[in-house]
Structure 1
Amino acid sequence: MFRKSSRRPLALLAAATSLVLVATACAESDREGSGGDDSEPFVFASAGDISTLDPFFTSDGETFRYSRQVFETLLEHESGGTEIVGGLAEDWEQSEDGTEWTFYLRDGVTFHDGEEFNAEAVCANFDRWFNMTGPYQDGNNSYYWQTIFGGFAENENEDLDEPRFESCEATDDLTAVITVSEYSSVFPGGFSLAAFGIMSPAVIERVADEEITGEPGSFTLPAYTQEAGTVAGTGPFRVTEWNQDQAEVTLERHDGYWGEPAGFETMILRAIPDENARRQALEAGDIHGYDLVAPADVEPLEAAGFQVPTRGVFNVLYMAYQQETNEALADLEVRQALAHAVDRQRIVDTILPEGGEVASQFMPDTLDGWSSDVRTYEYDPDLAQRMLADAGQEDLTVEFCYPTDVTRPYMPAPRDIFDVIAADLDAVGVTVEPTTYEWTEYIPRTNAGDCDMYLLGWTGDYNDAYNFIGTWFSGPSDEFGLRDEDLFEAMAEASSNPDTGQRIAAYEELNEQIMEILPGLPVSSSPPSIAFAPDVVPPNVSPLTQEAFREASWQ
């Protein structure tokens, strides 16, 4: 077995430990010395409402923000960073071939409903996910399971992958052994995903017969996923109310939490889709923090005394081509022409926050596997026009989709970004037919390949290149209409290579291969900002947008 929780040199580890101790002492001093009343609700505004109380059934960041406060995973990321550390597992090991993962669990942890946390509880969750059937196997309802663990015990759809998960065994009360079929670079990062928050076995038993109703594209999740009080995790907060009419979730401090208690007795997550309305609510004192600050608002807020920390860059925005919806986009020369038509630097300079940069590939340059040798597509409208003419597409018409009611870390102003791209395409003779959807419909539409071209992006879940390029290009994709078996095989080979150096080199080659194929145009990477009132001690901000609000308190 290889021990996986101690990977830093001892000197660096000691220095990091000292910094953590100092930071913890300062935070405790702030709490003890402040005049803040921790019973006053802390209200935080996000760009959208959550979609479910059970995080397994979603892939959206707003639901994960809620769920990380309520549920915990076997592994998590260090506060404010991307290093994987213990979560509900204090320590862990992997076998030499990477197929057996042994988790040594924390003692004395209880769920919100009083149930004991142990290895049997861990396996009850994994067995539940693995044995899901019917609509639960639809990719919209089990996206992250299929991404990390493949298919199910009994695949009911021939398009599903063979399962990578094999078993979970409780070898003693505080030791869980999870076996997978092959080494994969998705581990150990996959064990940190919010979708795999551990739920009380009593809840699992109670909802075992609940069913998803409806048809693909319009599924209705079971009632328990909508009703507060029906779920129980081990996190520092428990959910007490979800007012869907007001798009507001209320969390209360879990006094039986195993770790440092949350600094707020009550936390309210309120959805305010419009970024101007979020800023105005903070200025008026109606909320005490909000996410995805508009770049133009950062300096005025700071000048007014608000705190506006900026996260590190860990995302990418792209303009996708759907090669089957519009046959013209199946022509590589057309895709290249459209890439040369877009002035990405203007988007960075006029729309993105300071620190934004043009993306040359489908991952940020902060990750190992980023390549300096990819083919690039400089802004050149004259070249774009000539290439379109050579391809016989001087009068090309494309439907272009973008979302209307949301901002994302990689896409702070969807309409503004669309307007720049649409004007650039119009300048080279392309007719753009805009189509807009609300976010809840936008993702299913783009996933299904309903748009010729569209804007979308990704914020990394964990620090591995495969979490970016593997998300899009590891298999056939309706999003891009991509059917490139050579690419898929190369991606699988890279991900399953246990040699770190060889795997990183393979990722570099894959990035070069992807930019030759050009399934879409990487547009930019940007550092999203988050704002807090002057009387708040903020949590450490995370480049993964995985803030732990238990760290926050009143000044």
Structure 2
Amino acid sequence: MRIFKSRATRAITVAAAAALIVTGCSSERDTTEGKGKDGGNDTFVFGGAGDPGSLDPALASDGETFRVTRQAFEALLEHEPGGSKLVGGLAEKWDSNDEGTVWTFNLRKGVKFHDGEKLTAEAVCANYDHWFNWTGTYQSAAVSYYWQTIMGGFAKNEDKDAPKANYKSCTAKDESTAVIEVKKPSANLPGGFSLQALAIHSPKALKEYEKEEASAKGDAITYPKYSQQAGTVAGTGPYKITKWNKGNKEVSLERFDDYWGKKAGVKNLVFRTIDTEEGRRSALQAGDIDGYDLVSPADVKTLEKAGFQVPTRDVFNIFYLGFTQEKNKALQNKDVRAAIAHAIDKDNLVKTQLPEGGVAATQFIPDTVEGYSDKVEKYAYDPAKSKSLLKKAGEEKLKVEFCYPTEVSRPYMPSPGDLFELMKADLEKVGVTVTPKPMKWAPDYIDATEAGGCELHLLGWTGDFNDAYNFIGTWFAEYDKQWGFKDKKVFEAMEEASAEVDHSKRVKLYEHANEVVMDFLPGVPVSSSPPAIAFAKDVNPPLVSPLTQENFSEVTFKK
């Protein structure tokens, strides 16, 4: 899911669109608490598509993890409910110097962590210094993806491929004022300060975290024990995590009564993993859960006719077919990459697999984000041209290993298995031999793709914040094992755009960067689509977010 969202002034109207999206379900909203469907208790049960990978969001990069942790952890900045505008989080106010290198945060007072610790500027700095001083497996891109995306490398890089550190320091100016300095301006700021991966933890909990290590064997990551069971992690959110029953695939949270803001509308919150859309739909219809995400396009009207609430979010994502060039040397040939691009029938994928409003993509950002270019090189569906390019490259008998995730649906990828089968058939039509490699989404698939372990793979992105760099800069600003390439033109285009302070000039540079990326063709952008989310008839839902950042403390039950 990655995102860096200030990732600069934005002109697109996502917030307004989101407000329209939720009108249908907000008309019946009230503030009455009710009883959920879990043993008659005051409990809201939500069906997720995959297991979270960690209870520590700093170690994650996927939406299923963040959906859970967002209810318990808060960052310095947040997004307005239902929109993409940055607003205060744990910081009431914030500003920067003209160069964008010194960021000052005025913290809320009276904020407590779940373990009773007090939020202070020193606590904020303890978090940033904790991440900056990570060593060993924590420096793996599969573990510290977002830190590296937003702040670069570490106090001492142990991996030659790790980016240079951009984080400089964090200083507690006084108890309620934290000052974070970076070495150079970045399009990732201030948006990055809103990410779940940079949410603030109790300093007491951090000391416990530091007693444990992550480890790796090949593509497999073993996460520290504290991140795999409730009891140690502690944030400031409206809910606190009380239990992770992995056998039943459930994470339980309880309302935090000392929360600084508006108290959660329902006492207990449960995230239950149901790894098929059919299973989630059936559970909602049977009354076993109160809501679920990633509704199949074919089920929207059926659910609505039955009285369920199915709001649709605004389009703010990209689904792509990724290439890892270092994993298969044939992919280092542009003609081979172009041949694969011309072999994929995007229009058929959109028509048969995506919800109404889905569109075929021409580049790695949706057309709702500034910086979208009409001048990018396009790779239309053309099997004959694909075969010709493979012949030109001497790869008429090309063989590829194609990874795809199981036990999951994503906002940009409703049914990974079905999408894989269609792409596999497209590739086989032009003579490519495809070896399928299905992998469980979390943590296997996520870790393998991040570590560059897949020749071809399916992934996507829902923007973390409203800026083109949050998409293209996330992937192509520098060497990334997922893509396995080094191209000076691509990296320079990203760096130039990121460093530009003037908004209008930056947008033009984003357009140019998109053109450079699609000329190089590191992968195939496939589609963008508006994901739907469903709720029971007796639920007053939260405002739905184009960033898929719903706050479930807004949920109540109808009388």
Q: What is the match of residue 294 of structure 2?
A: 292
- Out of 207, 221, 224, the residue aligned to residue 222 of structure 1 is 224
TM-score normalized by the length of structure 1 = 0.93
| Structure 1 residues 220-254: Cα deviation after superposition (integer angstroms, max 9, x where no partner) | 22222223121211100011111111111110111
CA displacement at 1:214 relative to structure 2 = 4.6
Residue 477 (structure 2) pairs with residue 477 (structure 1):
no
CA distance in 1 between partners of 2:34 and 2:57 (Å):
36
1:31 aligns with 31
**Displacement after TM superposition at 1:8 (Å):** 9.8
Change in Cα spacing, 1:28 to 1:453, as seen in structure 2 (3 Å) is closer
- In the aligned structure 2, how far is the partner of 1:446 from the partner of 1:538? 34
SS at match of 2:222: coil
The equivalent of 1:178 in structure 2 is 180
Distance 1:402 1:228 in 2: 30
Equivalent residues of 2:220, 2:444 under 8 A apart: no
Alpha-carbon distance in structure 2 between the residues aligned to 1:8 and 1:160 = 30
Indicate the residue corresponding to 2:375 in structure 1.
373
Which amino acid is 1:43 matched to? V
> AA paired with 1:476?
Y
Q: Mark the runs of 5 or more structure 1 residues left unpaired by the alignment.
A: none
CA contact (8 A) 1:321 1:454 kept: yes
| Alpha-carbon offset, residue 327 of structure 1 | 2.8
Tell which deviates more after alignment, 185-194 or 211-220. 211-220
Contact 1:410 1:459 in 2 (8 A): yes
Which of 535, 548, 551 is 1:548 aligned to? 551
Alignment map for 1:232-311 (pairs within 5 Å): 232-311=234-313
**Is contact 2:452-2:484 (8 Å) kept?**
yes
- For residues 60-108 of structure 1, give each alpha carbon's deviation from its aligned partner in whole angstroms, at most 9, with x where no partner exists: 2111111110010000111111111110111111100000001111111
Q: Deviations over 1:176-222 (max 9, x none)?
A: 11111111000001000001111111212333322224535333222
Deviates more, 1:87-96 or 1:108-117: 108-117
Secondary structure of the 2:479 match is: coil
Are the equivalent residues in 2 in contact too, given 1:274–1:405 (CA < 8 A)?
yes
**Pairs aligned (count):** 541
What amino acid is aligned across from residue 388 of structure 1 in structure 2?
A: L
Which of 506, 526, 537 is the equivalent residue of 1:534?
537
Distance in 1 between the 2:325 and 2:314 partners?
33
Q: Give yes or no for the alignment of 1:80 onto 2:82.
A: yes
Q: In the alignment, which residue of structure 2 is the partner of 1:445?
A: 448
Which residue of the other structure, out of 105, 116, 132, is the alignment partner of 1:130?
A: 132
Structure 2 counterpart of 1:275, which letter? Answer: E
Letter in 1 for 2:512: E
Q: What are the equivalent positions in structure 2 for 1:53-64 lying under 5 Å apart? A: 53-64=55-66
Identity between Structure 1 and Structure 2 (%): 55
Q: 1:513 aligns with which of 509, 516, 534?
A: 516
Compute the TM-score of the two structures, normalised by the length of structure 2: 0.92
- Cα–Cα, structure 1 residues 319 and 29, in superposed 2: closer, same or farther, change >3 Å? closer
Q: In 2, distance between residues paired with 1:289 and 1:243?
A: 20
Decide whether the 8 Å contact of 2:141 with 2:450 is kept in 1: no
Cα RMSD, aligned residues only: 2.4
The aligned runs of 1:309-388 (5 Å cut-off) are 309-388=311-390
**Shift, 1:119, TM fit:** 1.2
Change (3 A) 1:7 1:451: closer
Q: String of CA shifts for 1:311-361, please: whole Å, max 9, x gaps.
A: 111111111223333333222122222212211001101110111000010
Distance 1:227 1:402, change over 3 A: closer
Note if contact 2:153-2:162 (Cα within 8 Å) is conserved in structure 1: yes
Deviation at 1:457, TM superposition (A): 1.2
Determine if contact 1:339/1:377 at 8 Å carries over to the other structure.
Answer: yes
Q: Which has the higher contact order (CA 8 A, sep 6+)?
A: 2
Offset at 1:445? 2.3
Shifted more, 450-459 versus 122-131: the winner is: 450-459
Does residue 455 of the first structure (1) align with residue 476 of the second (2)? no
User: What amino acid does structure 1 have at the position aligned with 2:486?
Assistant: R
Aligned with 2:372: secondary structure?
A: coil
Aligned to 1:189: 191
Please state whether the residue corresponding to 1:70 is helix, strand or coil: coil
Shift, 1:486, TM fit: 2.3
CA shift in 2, pair 1:217/1:429, >3 Å:
closer
Contact 2:114–2:240 (8 Å) recurs in 1: yes
Give the conservation status (yes or no) of the 8 Å contact 1:39–1:264.
no
CA distance in 2, matches of 1:8, 1:339: 31
How do 1:81-100 residues align onto structure 2 when only pairs under 5 Å count?
Answer: 81-100=83-102
